[in-house]
Amino acid sequence: MPWIDMANIACGFHASDPDTMSDTVQQAVDCGVTIGAHPGYNDKTGFGRRPIPHSAESITCLVAYQVGALDAICQQHGTRVKYIKPHGALYHGMMNNPDVFEAIVIAAANMDIKPALMIQALNNNELQKKDS
């Protein structure tokens, strides 16, 4: 933690548990590190690297659930989640499927913390392809 300024913290579905999340948040707070939620598919066996079919509504709920859990732990340590960076297959789904992207944006937009969404930079051609 002393060598980073942002930490993507797993929220329990692909990795982690409440105690580990709490310990990690405390370390981040102690080191002045910005906390990001790192939600993924419910896939501990595959470490969240396997795509699991979900409806858009289900993706919105699984992201809200995980980010909400981490934010509740953050509040116990006097901080809040500042951004969301989906993990593994969920991230790749978000970057390649406009419905998954929108489902995650809806989850973030409906949170009282209004977290940013961390994505790779896209050029205008990529944005136009995704809109088609």
Regarding pTM above 0.85, the answer is yes
Statement: residue 6 has pLDDT above 60: yes
Per-residue pLDDT at 46: 83
Q: How many CB atoms lie within 10 A of CB 8?
A: 17
Q: Which of 59-68, 98-107, 122-131 has the lowest mean pLDDT?
A: 122-131
Per-residue pLDDT at 126: 54
Q: Which of 45-54, 99-108, 117-126 has the lowest mean pLDDT?
A: 117-126
Statement: residue 127 has pLDDT above 60: no
Q: Residue 131 — pLDDT band, cuts 50, 70, 90? A: low
Domain 6-131 CATH superfamily? Glycoside hydrolase/deacetylase (3.20.20.370)
Contact 103, 60 (CB under 8 A): yes
Contact 13, 48 (CB under 8 A): yes
